[in-house]
Amino acid sequence: MTDAPTTYPTPADALAALPAGLDEEIRSEAQQSLAQILEELTHRPIPVGRINRFWALGSLQARLALGYFAWWLRKGFISADASEAALNEQHLRAALRMLSTMGYMRGVVMKMGQALAQIPNLLPEQFLDVAGHLYFDAPPMHYSMLREHVRNELGADPTDVFDDFEPQAFAAASLGQVHRARLKGSGHPVAVKIQYPNIARTIQEDIRNLIALMFPMRLSNDWENLKVQMTDVAEMLDYESDYLREAENQEHARSLFTPEDGVVVPRVYEDLSTRRVLTMDYLDGLHLNAYRRTNPSQANCDRHGANIFKSSLRTWYAGRMTYADPHPGNYLFLPDGRLGLLDFGCCRRFTIEEWEYLKRVEEVFDKDDEALRLVLAESTDLPVERVETDRDRFDLLVKYTNWIWEPMRAHGVFDFGTDSYLERGMALYGEVVRKRYTRSKPVNTWISRCFIGLRVLAYHLKSRFDVGALYLEERKAGYAE
Amino acid sequence: MRITTQAKQQTRQRLLKTGARLFRKRGFAATTTREIAEAAGIANGTLFNYFPTKESLALTLFAEALAGAEGDFVSRNGGGSVEEDLYAFIMAGLHRLESYRQYAGDVLATVMSPFARAGACPEAEEMRRTHLESVLEILQAHHIIEATAGDRDLFVQLHLYWTIYLGVIAFWSRDESPDHTDTLVVLDQSLRLLLGSLPTPSPDSSSQHEEVSRD
């Protein structure tokens, strides 16, 4: 089920990715700094003041971070004119400092990696490949360490709590690793997700560091909004580290589906779960890449694509939460044709205010762009007057929102497998990022991640289905409840 | 009056038990040998026939606990990587030392300090020797240190291990995280650091054992 990593971005890749238009002196300094940072990350001594950093696990993540930031720098400099050079130099130094810290930031970096890897064409292909493997290839805890951790959590060794506990993890996630086992007595197969010790505390600390390190890079008045968004990310990551909360989300989601839906959510065993250990039914199936290698029929791809969207729409409308992490590692294609949904750590339950806001956005689904502009003013937390004075921003955001809604407005089967639809969306998203029009209500971060992730999954499956009908059906049922 | 071996053994055990109780109750530094002797119902001078210092009494407690840990390790492990075996071996010791954790740091800071005079505390020397013998056995079983290694190499490698081990013990003795979770991570990091600095197993031996993780 797990693909071995093939290539990693090398320091040379990252250095080569530095912008061509840079002043030679700055470029040389940047190259030296990058090389030095990589060297330091590889041979980092124990950070005495931050003993809880996962420094020893950081080499792959550090390399990835290096790649991301080289990319970020290149993008930033491409659009720069001469007057911005001095400011960019400052940004560059800040980014390098941040990069050197991120070698420790296991959880955060992996989360960023997963988010970025969802977006084809926005990252160089080799970074995308490596980031894709992070879904499954986090460095594991060895059994001796895991045993101590489980003993603390469940009160006994894994082999005493379960039958046939497999010491080798069969899957790894950003915050934990997953082992196969059987329930004592019944022999029922289960998956036991075990969180890396300490990661919950380090996440908050890492985000605080990240915000502090980004401070010199504040680019405009949107800095405060960015800070709010990052704080929101920190909060969600903190939620994600609480497996009891995840269990609650998972059971909530499980209650939303019937056997006829063709979507299955594994049952959680509460008596064998804690904040750091989550025991659930084991689902035997294939992840996206492995499934695609079986050359599935178009009908199966269409059905799975529709089920992926249905699961998201159902949790949204009936469950009032967003499944904000729709990456390939969270879906299993089962041999009987059903779709398995995994990992409910990154779910956001909508508050009443958020739900009302989302309803207001939906009210303009069938209306013209002017109505949409007004809703987008609320969405970006900007005064309505800005709709007129900041036309470029709102024109772009309208285009991006229309792209999101395009499949639902198609009145019939929509083909997600064409390059043009996804490319247009990625180009628009890239422009939003490049122009730094990312100011937004925090909830939109998660929604956007969900929307893009779903479309990328459907693209990879080459799915064709009537998502508009599905959307209307689920919305109607959800609002009726 | 002639004291039988059995009576000596009983007195020794009583002193150990009383010492452990008072150290826990009053702290190691605040407890005197006189108080231990009084509480155990023997003359102060008699205590010194058994334990020349209160440090040696405490170390005897630790050494007996660690002897049990060796058994725990052997019965529950084997077949893992060198990192796993060392991790399990050290954790087995920490579990056995748990009831002494409150003052273990104070005792070890005195007698196990890198600056402590060699031979000043024979019990400490013995504890170190016994522990390192077990570690050497694990490293040799995984071909990290070959049986033919020169004395100087052996000394450097084991000294490095010992220094790291004491660091872990020091951290554990002050670890206030729930269930000492931080110690689990520190031990993991420390062993990665140690193993990253030791020689790689030869190709012949690595085919029989899991490769040492060096990331």
All structural domains of chain A: 11-134 (no CATH), 139-198+215-282 (3.30.200.20), 284-481 (no CATH)
Which element (helix H / strand E) includes A423?
Answer: helix A419-434
Same domain, B25 and B39: yes
Looking at per-residue pLDDT, the higher value among A160 and A38 belongs to A160
3-state secondary structure of A419: helix
Instruction: Show Cβ contacts of residue A202 under 8 Å, excluding neighbours closer than 6 positions.
Output: A52, A53, A54, A104, A105, A106, A107
Same domain, B57 and B31: no
Same domain, B60 and B20: no
* Contact state of A143 with B85 under an 8 Å Cβ cutoff: no
Res. B158: pLDDT tops 60: yes
* Contact state of A145 with B188 under an 8 Å Cβ cutoff: yes
Chain B residue whose CA is closest to A41: B215
Each residue's pLDDT tens digit, A327-370: 788 899 999 999 999 989 888 899 999 999 999 999 998 888 99
Give the pLDDT band of residue A25 (cuts 50, 70, 90).
low
- The answer to whether residue B42 sits within a structural domain is yes
Which pLDDT does position A107 carry in this prediction? 43
In this prediction, residues A191-208 reach a mean pLDDT of 74
Res. B14: pLDDT tops 90: yes
- The answer to whether residue B63 sits within a structural domain is yes
- The answer to whether residue B211 sits within a structural domain is no
Which pLDDT does position A461 carry in this prediction? 93
* Contact state of A148 with B215 under an 8 Å Cβ cutoff: no
CB A294 within 8 A of CB A286: yes
Same domain, B60 and B157: yes
Q: Find the CATH number of the domain harbouring B2.
A: 1.10.10.60
Same domain, B144 and B158: yes
Each residue's pLDDT tens digit, B23-68: 999 999 999 999 999 999 999 889 999 999 999 999 999 999 988 8
At CB < 8 Å, which residues of chain B contact A? 77, 80-81, 83-85, 87-88, 91, 171, 177-179, 181-182, 184-190, 192-193, 213, 215
Give the pLDDT band of residue A256 (cuts 50, 70, 90).
very high
Which pLDDT does position A59 carry in this prediction? 36
**Facing B80 at nearest CB: one of A46, A55, A144:** A144
Q: Please give the Cα distance from A150 to A144 (Å, whole number).
A: 10
Q: Find the CATH number of the domain harbouring B65.
A: 1.10.357
Structure tokens at B107: 């005792």
Looking at per-residue pLDDT, the higher value among B181 and B120 belongs to B181
Q: How many separate domains does chain B show?
A: 2
Same domain, B108 and B150: yes
**Facing A152 at nearest CB: one of B81, B84, B179:** B179
In this prediction, residues A4-18 reach a mean pLDDT of 39
* Contact state of B185 with A144 under an 8 Å Cβ cutoff: no
Which pLDDT does position B51 carry in this prediction? 92
* Contact state of A139 with B193 under an 8 Å Cβ cutoff: no
Tracing tokens 């949904």 back to the chain, one arrives at: A341
CB A339 within 8 A of CB A311: yes
**Facing B87 at nearest CB: one of A46, A52, A144:** A144
* Contact state of A52 with B81 under an 8 Å Cβ cutoff: no
- The answer to whether residue B214 sits within a structural domain is no
Chain B residue whose CA is closest to A155: B179
Which pLDDT does position A53 carry in this prediction? 37
Res. B146: pLDDT tops 50: yes
Q: Please give the Cα distance from A385 to A391 (Å, whole number).
A: 10
Instruction: Compute the nearest-CA separation of A241 from chain B (Å).
Output: 15
Res. A238: pLDDT tops 50: yes
Chain B residue whose CA is closest to A140: B213
Residue A76's nearest CA partner among A40, A22, A23, A34 is A22
**End-to-end Cα separation, chain B, in angstroms:** 65
Chain A CB contacts of B214 under 8 Å are none
Which pLDDT does position B155 carry in this prediction? 80
Q: Please give the Cα distance from B13 to B35 (Å, whole number).
A: 16
* Contact state of B189 with A55 under an 8 Å Cβ cutoff: yes
Distance of CA A124 to the CA centre of its chain: 18
- The answer to whether residue B134 sits within a structural domain is yes
- The answer to whether residue B215 sits within a structural domain is no
Same domain, B3 and B85: no
Each residue's pLDDT tens digit, A382-423: 899 999 999 999 999 999 999 999 999 998 999 999 888 988
At CB < 8 Å, which residues of chain A contact B? 45-46, 51-52, 54-57, 59-60, 139, 141-145, 147-149, 152, 197-198
* Contact state of B84 with A142 under an 8 Å Cβ cutoff: yes
Same domain, B80 and B179: yes
Structure tokens at B98: 């748990």
In this prediction, residues A116-127 reach a mean pLDDT of 36
* Contact state of B189 with A46 under an 8 Å Cβ cutoff: yes
Which pLDDT does position A410 carry in this prediction? 92
* Candidates B76, B81, B84, partner chain A, best to mutate (most A CBs within 10 A): B84
CB A191 within 8 A of CB A250: no
* Contact state of A46 with B91 under an 8 Å Cβ cutoff: no
Chain A CB contacts of B142 under 8 Å are none
- pTM above threshold 0.90: no
Chain B CB contacts of A56 under 8 Å are 188-189, 192-193, 215
- The answer to whether residue B62 sits within a structural domain is yes
Determine how many CB atoms are found less than 10 A away from the CB of residue A451: 20
Which pLDDT does position A388 carry in this prediction? 92
Looking at per-residue pLDDT, the higher value among A323 and A250 belongs to A250
Which pLDDT does position A239 carry in this prediction? 79
Same domain, B69 and B97: yes
Structure tokens at A355: 């739900």
Same domain, B37 and B61: no
**Facing B185 at nearest CB: one of A139, A152, A198:** A198
Same domain, B46 and B8: yes
Q: Please give the Cα distance from B88 to B76 (Å, whole number).
A: 9
Same domain, B27 and B59: no
Give the pLDDT band of residue A62 (cuts 50, 70, 90).
very low
ipTM for the complex? 0.80
Which pLDDT does position A202 carry in this prediction? 61
Sign of the four-CA dihedral A181, A186, A188, A192: negative
Which pLDDT does position A180 carry in this prediction? 96
> Which residues span the domain enclosing B19?
1-51
CB pairs under 8 A between A and B: 61
Res. A302: pLDDT tops 80: yes
Res. A128: pLDDT tops 50: no
Give the pLDDT band of residue A228 (cuts 50, 70, 90).
low
- The answer to whether residue B6 sits within a structural domain is yes
* Contact state of B91 with A59 under an 8 Å Cβ cutoff: no
* Contact state of A56 with B192 under an 8 Å Cβ cutoff: yes
Which element (helix H / strand E) includes A322?
Answer: strand A321-323
